[in-house]
Amino acid sequence: MNIKSIQKLVSEATIEIKTINADEAYKMFKDKNCNLIDIREINELDNSGRVEGANHIPRGMLEVYLDPNSPIMQNGQVDKNKELVLFCAGGVRSALAVKSLKEMGYEKISHVDGGFAAMSESNFKII
């Protein structure tokens, strides 16, 4: 049995996905060109704060909530015409999540290198 490490999974994912830095994410967000999606768990948001204006979809429910037939998509809470920009605490979960959503067929999708930690040190407002 050959079980891959998390580092190996993320390394393989980053070859296939688009990674942006916090400043690029902020520009897209400020220009209203993206859906900013925080995939951290609720306790992480409660402990560390939230990025003002970001949607919260926990990693465990991401594929369910972003299914084209889900209420969140049907009600327009996520704009299908804008890029999805995912972030987690440090960039590991979001890299794997972007790979999964690409497999679902999403094309305009990226994740923030360094995640919430990097965003906290950029121009994003943390509330």
The 8-class DSSP code of residue 108 comes to: S
Task: Count Cβ atoms within 10 A of the Cβ of residue 69 and give its class: 0-12 exposed, 13-18 middle, 19 or more buried.
Answer: exposed
Residue with tokens 């948001």: 45
What is the rounded distance in angstroms from the CA atom of residue 79 to the CA atom of residue 57? Answer: 14
**Residue ranges per structural domain of the chain:** 7-120
CATH class of this structure's domain 7-120: alpha beta
Residue 69's closest CA among 105, 112, 28, 30? 105
Bridge partners of residue 86, in order along the sequence: 37, 111
pLDDT in tens, the chain (127 residues): 899 999 999 899 999 999 999 999 999 999 999 999 999 999 999 999 999 999 999 999 999 999 999 988 888 889 989 999 999 999 999 999 999 999 999 999 999 999 999 999 999 999 9
Which helix (H) or strand (E) element contains residue 19?
Answer: strand 18-20
- pLDDT at position 80: 86
- pLDDT at position 74: 85
Residue with tokens 């190996």: 8
What letter represents residue 80's amino acid? Answer: K
